[in-house]
Structure 1
Amino acid sequence: MKKLMILGAAASQVPLISAAKRLGYETIVTSIPGDYPGFTYADVCCYADISKPEEVLAKAKELNIDGITTCGMDTGIRAIGRVCDELGLWGISYKTACTLSDKYLSKLAFEKAGVPCAKAFQIRTEEELSEALEKLPLPVVVKAVDLMGSRGIYQCNTREESFAAFSNAMKSTSRDYCLVEEFLEGVIFGAEGLFADGKLVFCFPVGTDLYYQSTIPTCIGHFAPFTIDIQKEAEQIITAALTEAGARNTPFNCDLILKDGKVYLIEINGRAGATGLSDMVGIYYDLNYYEILCRQAMGETTASAFQLKNSKGQPSVSRMLTAPKTGILEKIELPEEAEDPDISITLNVQPSDPVRTYQNGRDLLGLVIVKGDSVEVCKEKTNRILSGIQYEIR
């Protein structure tokens, strides 16, 4: 039986673990010790800090694995690269993983490839920040370069806010620098895809629903298909960025923005996306994308799977579940409509868990995914579900 190492044991990895087991692989679920749901599904529980590449490599050698993967999280990407390089496995290289795991190094690759992106400066001190602010119009965005999602990212409308954000970003990062960049305002969207043998296998643009009460407009859901005609332009800049970063074999997830008719790349990650994106890929193409990720990690060719079986793909919407207030969760009650076979609801919390109002992806209570005849139908059904969920929080 072939062995697949899956990095991370959180709820986001459970569909990936289940897919690997359906395919007949022995699942080696790897994470630090803890009460994580992924360990319940594992064939082998492997305890290692997935943020430490050498620690993961030692376990991979010891267990003689045949493949390695993850989804929806950045923590283990450099470890995947280290293992793939050392053991000759399919997947991202260590150099590419380091580039895509650092927003500053990614930005250098984008600029070298001629990819449209926000003008940015690396900053280590308040003096450097002050100099950068002389060259950028307000508002600006201050970013910790090594954190996932919206954590450590701040939209700043004044110089004073910029200096406060710099202080906060430097406290949260493991680097000795962060970024300040121009604020691009436009239509934010995402893209999910796969790169194999240095070529784009597929690129799946998705619309993004935003939450505006955090430190930066933050994604709380997606919808597909994305109907604005940006496919060709998005594919070109994503391919250029990944090629410059040295990518040959990796799934990817990226954030983009359409401003004044031009597509800009915000950032790109060397793994499949979170917030239901892998499920939405599967719904659109009528396949199980988690199984594709497992098969690719084992070196199989899967490009033919992304040929649409019908003239158009299946629309869907994903939406994060968030707490209406901070406290201790007593109970969640779902509405009767949740039994609809076109609706999938997963919960990441249980009674007695602490919850808080949404600030970033760590505050996710669960996820609703709805498929239907159109995005509009999906959104209407999603809104009914969200308004029908009852929370008891003390």
Structure 2
Amino acid sequence: MLRLFKKKSSDFFVSIGSGINQIPLIKEAKKAGFQVIGVDINPTAPGFYHCDLKIQESIEDYHNIYVKLRELLIDGKISSIMTKSYGHAIVTTSFLCEKFGIPFLPFEDSKVFLNKKAMRNAYLNLGIKIPDNIPITSKTKVDALKDSIFPIVSKPATGHAKNNVQLLNNKLELKNFIENKNAEDYVFERFVAGDEIICCGQIHSARFYPILLSDKVKTPAPFFVDIMHITPSKYKYLLDEITSIGNKIAREFKIQSAPMIMEFIVTEKDELYMMEAVPEFGGEFIPDIMVPHSTGYNHLLGAIQSSAFYEFKANMQKLENSPVVIKYITSENGILSSCSIEAIRKNESVIFYRIFTDIGARVYSPSNNHHRIGVIVTKGKSIEEAIAAAQNAEQQMNIKIKTEEENETKLGTTL
């Protein structure tokens, strides 16, 4: 069990971001006894409700945030600065941690994690397997390429989630891609067949500690949108190798204290190919919902204690966790016309649920993670039982999608 530390009332925790997904981290900081300073550009950010002080500022503008924090702290000390967001929020957190002497990631290295080309070089230098690079530019003569290099996966050189990640199966698709987009802004990799897994962990004193391993289910090609996360992972026997990779990254980037998410492809021969490693909690409801309900371990509090007190107690469960499934709700193109949560509120197998889309809103067949319309998290005595519970809960929600033509016909009838 993680112990709470008593702090002076002048000890502050800074939350970079105050949106809905940041609230679990803010609440843990409050429970640990900190006064919380929330930062967000949105004056009505829902996390502000739980904060003692707020700074209305873009989370990317670390210089102005630093100035305003200095102005606020006439009497007080910032003990921890964290974010549950990603991308530029990590850069801002790194800058501020360096300014206030809080262990995290060196600022000079923080932007490297936003650049897939730079990270590919880092992985190669560390001896970490990654998919082969396919050198493609806007001047590439596609017809001269060998058919054997296909399929190719295109990824933005900078970016997050599954935005604009696409499978290109042949020369024609690649040619159309280059004609419509700037190839220099993308990374092109050889497609590696296999299952995807996510390792959620914590870096403390430049050492990586695994907390949870989960298997990922995606939509078919070409977009690979995450639609389910399952734990325990069927690949937990690879944990020692995964931990070794995490330690290499922690040492290479001189990370003293940070959550870490690593995503891999596992081939039929049990080869691990790194897809991404970032010093963040990760999304997908893994750190704040799946981890505690599956392992009993409080990942958010553990990270706060590592950052604020430089004390950390590793998860002693050794990943012998209970079955938990995160299932995302997706649809075809249309209008969300019906969705009810009343039926699942008393469902004991349902741990958590959230609908992202309002009734009457346009919905899309998923080409990226932002097109998912909701999420259900369930538990069970077995993985199969947890999956069945999630499927049953989705049916109970009575989700109906109307085509735009059906919706227009209804509007016309009403008028």
Question: What range describes the TM-score normalised by the shorter chain of this pair?
Answer: 0.7 to 0.9
Say which one has the larger Rg.
2
Q: In 2, Cα distance between the equivalents of 1:63 and 1:121?
A: 50
In structure 2, what is the equivalent of residue 301 of structure 1?
311
Q: How does 1:99-118 map to 2 (within 5 A)?
A: 99-118=112-131
Query: AA paired with 1:137?
Result: I
Q: Which residue of 1 aligns with 2:37?
A: 28
Q: 1:287 aligns to what?
A: 297
Q: Partners of 1:332 and 1:373 in 2: how far apart?
A: 28
| One-letter amino acid of the counterpart of residue 13, structure 2 | L
Contact persistence 2:134–2:188 (CA under 8 A): yes
State how far apart, in whole Å, the 1-side matches of 2:282 and 2:252 are: 21
User: 2:103 is aligned with what amino acid?
Assistant: W
Q: CA deviation at 1:27?
A: 2.1
Q: Name the counterpart of 2:284.
A: 275
Code of the aligned partner of 1:6: S
Answering whether residue 23 of structure 2 is matched by residue 18 of structure 1, we say no
Distance 1:94 1:136 in 2: 41
Could you tell me whether the CA contact under 8 Å between 2:302 and 2:313 is conserved in 1? no
**Deviation at residue 387 of structure 1 after TM alignment:** 1.9
User: Number of residue pairs matched?
Assistant: 385
**Aligned equivalents of 2:162, 2:177: Cα separation in 1:** 13
The aligned residue for residue 94 of structure 1 is 107
Q: 1:220 aligns with which of 227, 245, 253?
A: 227
Q: Does 1:384 align with 2:378?
A: no
Gaps of 5+ in 1: none
Deviations 1:37-73 (A, max 9, x none): 2233333232222233333333343344332111253
Q: Which of 248, 253, 275 is matched with 2:256 structurally?
A: 248
> Do the aligned residues in 2 keep the contact of 1:276 with 1:367 (CA within 8 Å)?
no
Give, in whole Å, the separation in 2 of the partners of 1:53 and 1:255: 28
Q: 1:149 aligns with which of 161, 168, 173?
A: 161
Structure 1 residue 126 corresponds to structure 2 residue 138 = yes
CA shift digits 1:156-192 (9 cap, x unpaired): 1122322444566649xxxx63211111111111111
Greater mean deviation of Cα atoms: 377-386 or 274-283: 274-283
Distance change >3 Å, CA 89–CA 166, structure 1 → 2 = farther
Q: Is the 8 A contact 1:275 1:319 kept in 2?
A: no
How far did 1:87 drift?
Answer: 1.7
Q: Secondary structure at the match of 1:96?
A: helix
Q: How much does 1:130 deviate? A: 5.0
Distance in 1, Cα, partners of 2:143 & 2:307? 45
Unpaired segments ≥5 residues, structure 2? 1-8, 402-406, 408-415
Deviation, structure 1 residue 381: 0.4
Superposed CA deviations along residues 186-244 of structure 1, whole A, max 9, x for unmatched, are: 1111111111111112242210011226x421212211110222111212223223433
User: 2: distance between equivalents of 1:357 and 1:221?
Assistant: 16
8 Å CA contact 2:355–2:375 kept in 1: the answer is: yes
**Corresponding letter in the other structure for 1:20:** A
Letter in structure 1 aligned against 2:57: A
Q: Which residue of 2 aligns with 1:336?
A: 343
CA RMSD of aligned residues (A): 2.8
CA distance in 2, matches of 1:133, 1:143: 19
Q: Distance in 2 between matches of 1:107 and 1:144?
A: 13
State how far apart, in whole Å, the 1-side matches of 2:35 and 2:135 are: 43
Q: 1:67 aligns with which of 66, 69, 80?
A: 80
**Preserved contact between residue 198 and residue 249 of structure 1 (Cα < 8 Å):** yes
Q: Assess if the C-alpha contact under 8 Å between 1:357 and 1:363 holds in 2.
A: yes
TM-score (norm. length: structure 2):
0.83
SS of the residue corresponding to residue 399 of structure 2 reads: strand
Change (3 A) 1:367 1:88: same
Partner Cα distance (1:241, 1:130) in 2: 36
In structure 2, give the amino acid aligned to 1:302: F
Deviates more, 1:258-267 or 1:16-25: 16-25
Output the CA distance in 2 between the equivalents of 1:50 and 1:132: 45
Measure, in 1, the Cα distance between the counterparts of 2:130 and 2:177. Answer: 21
Match of 1:160 in 2: 172
- Please state how far the C-alpha of 1:272 moved relative to its aligned partner: 0.7
| AA matched with 2:91 | R
In the alignment, the residues of structure 2 paired with residue 14 and residue 357 of structure 1 have an alpha-carbon distance, to the nearest angstrom, of 29
Aligned partner of 1:84 in structure 2 is: 97
Amino acid in the other structure paired with 2:214: V
The within-5 A match list for 1:343-358 is 343=350, 344-351=352-359, 355-358=363-366
Deviation larger for 1-10 or 370-379: 1-10
Tell me the equivalent position of 2:373: 365
> Shift of residue 375 of structure 1?
1.3
Whether the 8 Å contact between 2:149 and 2:190 is mirrored in structure 1 is: yes
- Residue by residue over 1:57-100, the C-alpha shift from the partner in whole angstroms, topping out at 9 and shown as x without a partner, is 33343344332111253330111111112221122222332122
Q: Does 1:139 align with 2:141?
A: no
Q: Percent identity?
A: 18
Aligned mates of 2:340, 2:349 — CA distance in 1: 19
- If the length of structure 1 is used for normalisation, what is the TM-score? 0.87
What is the distance in 1 between the residues matched to 2:71 and 2:374?
A: 35
Q: Distance in 2 between matches of 1:362 and 1:34?
A: 23
Q: Are 1:338 and 1:345, in contact at CA under 8 Å, matched by a contact in 2? A: no
- In the aligned structure 1, how far is the partner of 2:173 from the partner of 2:51? 46
